[in-house]
Every structure is written in structure tokens, then in C-alpha cells.
Structure 1
Amino acid sequence: MLTHFFVTGTDARVGKTIVTRALLQAMAAQGKCALGYKPVATGSQELADGIRNKDAVTLQNSSTISYPYEKITPLALLDEDIYVSDIPENIFEIMTSGLNFMLEGGDAVVVEGCDGWKTLITPNRFYSDWVRQQNIPVILVVGIQEGCVSHALLSAQAIITDGLPLAGWVANRINPCLAHYQETIDAIGNNIPAPLLGEIPYLPRAESRDMAKYIDLSLLHVKNEQ
């Protein structure tokens, strides 16, 4: 049974958080205890109740159990870029400890990454190195816009080359004015060896909507191997 998977994107701002919310809600609709986990959150803000990241808060609100913010995101950073921030040496251990905590409390954990697949978490280590270490199946979010076909195929190739299962991909229509939408979907789908799990239409305030209907969980057949 699939217990956890990792959501990455073709780039930043392609809709990873919205897709993660949709996945969590779809799992909850099937009666599962589904938890969102964002180990590292960049671009956070200092607020009255501490450092907060809006994407992590969305995952907190989208989970079946509302865990404390610090459990959802053990490392919230003010910088937009990960590798220029003050990353502790034991960052992978921190991330793994948080994941294990989540796995103990839920039926399934959706882990949201930062930016694209080959994001640097330190000047010489990739975020994807941790995903490989944990052997987590990957779901790729493709923001449907100009140039996304190449980005999608390159990202899928990199994930597979790294030896991880590509469990599926999700199309997120971030540009409602893009011509040839269906042709773009077909071009990606015909060249990625993974199922299209869903298409997210362009929606204002998607972080507060019910997104479950846009995801087909029946296409997920990958098992986690520990």
C-alpha cells in the first residue's frame, strides 16, 4: 500500500501546494488519514505567532489531523532560495525524523518539495538526494504554460535516472490564456512513462477550495519499499 510520496514540480510556482492539497483531500475522501509534510519551507514570514509559510499553512489546513505548524514544517526559512540560507548540517536527519513522525500518525503522507527536482539544499547537495535516500515515489506537477513540455520531460527523465518510481504527473493550468492546451497535455502524456493523475483548472483561491475531484487516486499503484 502506498504510504507516502513526494510532490515535486517542473519549477517554482507551478502549483505544488495546490496539487498536494488536492491529493490530501482525495485521500481523505476515501477515509484515509492523510497528512501534508513540507520539511523545508522557503519565503516564510515573521508573524506574531512565529515564522510562518503560507504553503505550509495550506498543508496544515488540508490534512486530516491538524498537527502543530512545527511538525508540518520543521525548517521554515525567510530566504526564497534554500542553499543561501542557514541550513544545519544535519538537515537530512531533521527531515527524516519529521517524516517518520508523520508516518506514525497517518495512513498516508504527502511530502511537498521546494522548486524543481534538482534544487540545491546546500551548495553541494540536492533536495532529491534526500528523496532518493528515503526511496519515495514521486509525483510531478507540471504548470501548463509556454515551454512546459520540455521542462516536464526533462524533469521526468531526471527522476527516473535517479532511480525513483515516477508514480504519476498532474497538470496544473496556471495560464488560462494558453493556446493549444489539449495538445500540450497530449504531448506530455505521450512521452512520460507515468499516468496523468489529474488536471487542475485555473481557479482563484484554490487553496481554500475542495480539490479532491480533480485527482484520480485509482491510478496510483506504486508501493513504498523501506
Structure 2
Amino acid sequence: MFKGCFVTGTDTGIGKTLGSCVLLTALARHHAKVVGMKPIASGLIPHEGGWASEDALALRAASTLKVPPELDNPISLPDPLSPHLAAARAGRRIELSFLVERYQTLAAQADVVVVEGAGGWYVPLNEQHMMSDLAAALGLPVVLVVGLRLGCLNHAALSAEAIQARGLTLAGWVANRMDPDMACQEENLAWLKTHMTGRGVPLLADIPWQAQPDPARATVTLPTDWT
């Protein structure tokens, strides 16, 4: 039974949050209680007299189920660094068991949870674990967000291979047209579609370039067992 997905990306700053919000918006048309989760956020902004993750705020806005921050964003770290470095600066250590427990508590209240990772697939969380270990521990199908810019073909191919080599289900990928001036954008997209289809990975969403991102403007095709 479909309970959610884990969203990763080809790099930092390529649109994982936007891609996650696109999926939440589409899933909300089929499920009543849809919620986004940002297990680890590094880099906070001022919010309502305190501090919050901009990514977590965007996920909350796209969710239909409202939950306490300790469930949808259990670890918030002030510095915009790799999670293991941001945690060390904050005097903390990221533990997978803690994040899995928070996810399970959240999932028990929701129909679908869209979990957004931080950085890329191999971003370190502590001395032993990487983001890939968190995805494996949660046991969710993975969605890869590809930011369409120079270098994306290599990054997408490497990421897809690493996810599948881990034995996890790569349920689909999202194309984010983040660079309106990218040369040969359609040719790059065509190569990605061919390569991903060859790996058995469908295109779930095509997000147009937008000065002001709107998740509702993406073209989305969800797997039949997600609806």
C-alpha cells in the first residue's frame, strides 16, 4: 500500500522542495491527509518571532494535514551547511533511529507522507550515515528531482544508478526547468527521458521555469498505485 515517498535530488539547490510541493499538491487531489516532512533542515530564516526552515514552511503550505514542527521538521539546524557539519556546530548528532521514530509517528496520522531529504543522495548525516541510509531506513520509494542545468545528465545518471544499486525503488523522477537560459534544454530533457525510461523510471512531473514558483503549474503524472 502506498504511504509516501522519499524525495532526493541531483544536488543542493536544484528544486527538491518545489518538487516535493508539486507531488503534495497532486497527491492531495486523491488523498485527504497529505503531509510533507523535512527530517533535517540546515539554514533557518526569521519566522514569527523565531526561526524556521524555509523548506519546511513551503511543505506545510502544500500539506493538507497540519502537525507540530517536531513531527514534520524534527531537526532544524541554524547554519546552512552539510547536515553533519551544521549538527556539529549546534552541538548535536543526527541519529537515524530518532528520525525514523518521528516519521512513523507522523505516518500513523496521515494518508501519505512526502519526505524531502537534504542535499543529494550521499550527503553525510554523521560519521557513519548518509542521506541514502535515511531513505533506506524509512523504506519508502524514492523520487529523484533533476535540476535542468549544465551537468545534470551526469548527476542524474549517477544518482539513479546509486539509488537502484542500494536496492531501493526509484519510483520516478521530476524535471525542474530551473535555468531558463540553459542551452539545448529540450535535447537534454530528451536524453534524460530515454535514459530514465531505460532504467524503468518514469517522468512524474515537468516543472516549468517560474519567477515565482507555483506547484500547481507543473505537469504531473502520478503512478496508478499512488492514487
* TM-score normalised by structure 1 residue count: 0.90
Counterparts of 1:33-182 in structure 2, within 5 Å, are 33-45=33-45, 47=47, 49-80=49-80, 81-86=82-87, 88-89=92-93, 91-182=95-186
Aligned match of 1:3: 3
CA change 1:48–1:30 in 2 (3 A) is: closer
How far apart are 1:94 and its partner, in Å? 1.7
How far apart are 1:153 and its partner, in Å? 0.3
Aligned residue-pair number = 219
* TM-score normalised by structure 2 residue count: 0.90
How many percent identity over aligned positions?
34
Q: Which runs of 4+ in 1 moved over 6 A?
A: none
CA change 1:168–1:27 in 2 (3 A) is: same
Structure 2: how far apart are the matches of 1:131 and 1:212?
28
CA change 1:165–1:196 in 2 (3 A) is: same
Unaligned runs of 5+ in 2: none
Structure 2: how far apart are the matches of 1:48 and 1:58?
15
Aligned match of 1:215: 220
How far apart are 1:47 and its partner, in Å? 4.7
Q: Is the 8 A contact 1:46 1:52 kept in 2?
A: yes
Equivalent residue letter for 2:209: Y
Range with bigger deviation, 28-37 or 160-169: 28-37
Q: Is the 8 A contact 1:26 1:213 kept in 2?
A: no
Q: Report the aligned-residue RMSD.
A: 1.8
Structure 2: how far apart are the matches of 1:90 and 1:116?
17
SS at match of 1:160: helix
Equivalent residue letter for 1:199: D
How far apart are 1:106 and its partner, in Å? 1.1
